[in-house]
Amino acid sequence: MNAHSPSMPHDARPSPGRKPWIDWLRAMAAFAVVVIHVTAPLYAQIATLHRTDWWIANIANCAVRFAVPLFVMLAGALLLGRNEDAAAFYAKRAARLLPAFIFWSVFYLLFAWATGGDGLDLRERFVNAVLVTGATYYHLWYLPMFFGLMLVHPFLNAWLVGRRPDRADLVAFFAVVAFFAALHQAAELIEAVKGLRLEWAGAFAWFVGCYAAGYVLEARLYRRLPNLLLIGVFLAVAAAGALGNFALVMAMGLVQRQFVLPDSGLAVLAMTAALFCLFRQNAARLPQSRFVAAAAEASFGIYLIHPVFLYVLDHALPLPQRGAAWYIPLAALGVFLASLGTIASLRRVPLFRAVC
């Protein structure tokens, strides 16, 4: 997400040092997140939806499972490999991420309470967010996960660049270890006393490989891979996911998308790496687009705000029982463009630039 990228002028003209292929991937990742959330309700209605329409939703959902891992991989490509000590890195990341985390957590705490989706009051929702999910709305799980990645970044980075840790690095390392040890101890106590399982604290660990892969594929992969091989890997993973989902439904009645192609799974990592390499090695063929650059610059904000427009869509247009082939692209494009337009407008206000 552009939580890790430099700011860009409002006219979104690609700067000379900017890599258009990264802009394309960031824009694609933001759109893919929208498609995932547009298709999810259709996927869940296998019992009532026409089978052809369910398969369209299933295939579309599987084809864009790379969304969050791609954001993580791009973050690794952009942040890793710099000769920067832990203190300087933490200061920069905290200044960029903490305001966004606080603002959007409070915003969605109030939004969820006002819309009353699950009947929880403000206190219950806050406790659930702090102790269980780490997020005040379903998509905000990404932020505590990304915080975890940022905490381990300096040590992973030092290893990748071959830099010997100095005293400050070692102090930071043991401080991070102590923090997670204390968090683990608190989680066990909370589960024993309250019966609440703290789910979010270790989520970042499953994305460390994806984060490091972004740097390795960008800076250390010197050979060109066959385009057909990369496309084949991508399509094979999407197809296997769609067939696996159907098999789980038929064999066990599990109408869950995350079992076959979870965000942190090996298959999705392979799919994401294939897409990343495909765009990287064909960068010269990609045009510099002001629209793509603007979407890339707003990708973090699009991710954060799009559930608001999904909510509007769900209440303005009932889910169709037929016509998924037209509903999915039109709904996803509408939500994406509404989110992009809103974030582009908000970013004209300096105060909002700090949170989106």
pLDDT per residue over 58-99, tens digit each? 999 999 999 999 999 999 999 999 888 888 899 999 999 999
Over residues 113-119, mean pLDDT = 74
Question: In the 3-class helix/strand/coil scheme, how is the chain assigned residue by residue?
Answer: CHHHCCCCCCCCCCCCCCCHHHHHHHHHHHHHHHHHHHHHHHHCCCCCCCHHHHHHHHHHHHHCCCHHHHHHHHHHHHHCCCCCCHHHHHHHHHHHHHHHHHHHHHHHHHHHHHHCCCCCCHHHHHHHHHHHHCCCCHHHHHHHHHHHHHHHHHHHHHHHHCCCCCHHHHHHHHHHHHHHHHHHHHHHHHHHHHCCCCCCCCHHHHHHHHHHHHHHHHHHCCCCCCHHHHHHHHHHHHHHHHHHHHHHHHHHCCCCCCCCCCCCCHHHHHHHHHHHHHHHHCHHHCCCCHHHHHHHHCHHHHHHHHHHHHHHHHHHCCCCCCCHHHHHHHHHHHHHHHHHHHHHHHCCCHHHHCCC
Over residues 281-285, mean pLDDT = 94
Over residues 103-131, mean pLDDT = 80
> Is residue 25 over pLDDT 90?
yes
pLDDT value of residue 3: 41
A 10 A CB-CB count for 265 gives 18
Per-residue pLDDT band at 254 (split at 50, 70, 90):
low
pTM of the predicted model, to two decimals?
0.89
Over residues 265-290, mean pLDDT = 95
> Is residue 128 over pLDDT 80?
no
Per-residue pLDDT band at 118 (split at 50, 70, 90):
low
Per-residue pLDDT band at 2 (split at 50, 70, 90):
very low
Say what percent of the chain tops pLDDT 70: 93
Are the CB atoms for 73 and 42 separated by under 8 Å?
Answer: no
Render pLDDT for 170-196 as a digit per residue (tens, 0 to 9).
888 899 989 888 888 888 887 788 777
**Tokens 């990404």 -> residue:** 142
pLDDT value of residue 162: 87
> Is residue 50 over pLDDT 70?
yes
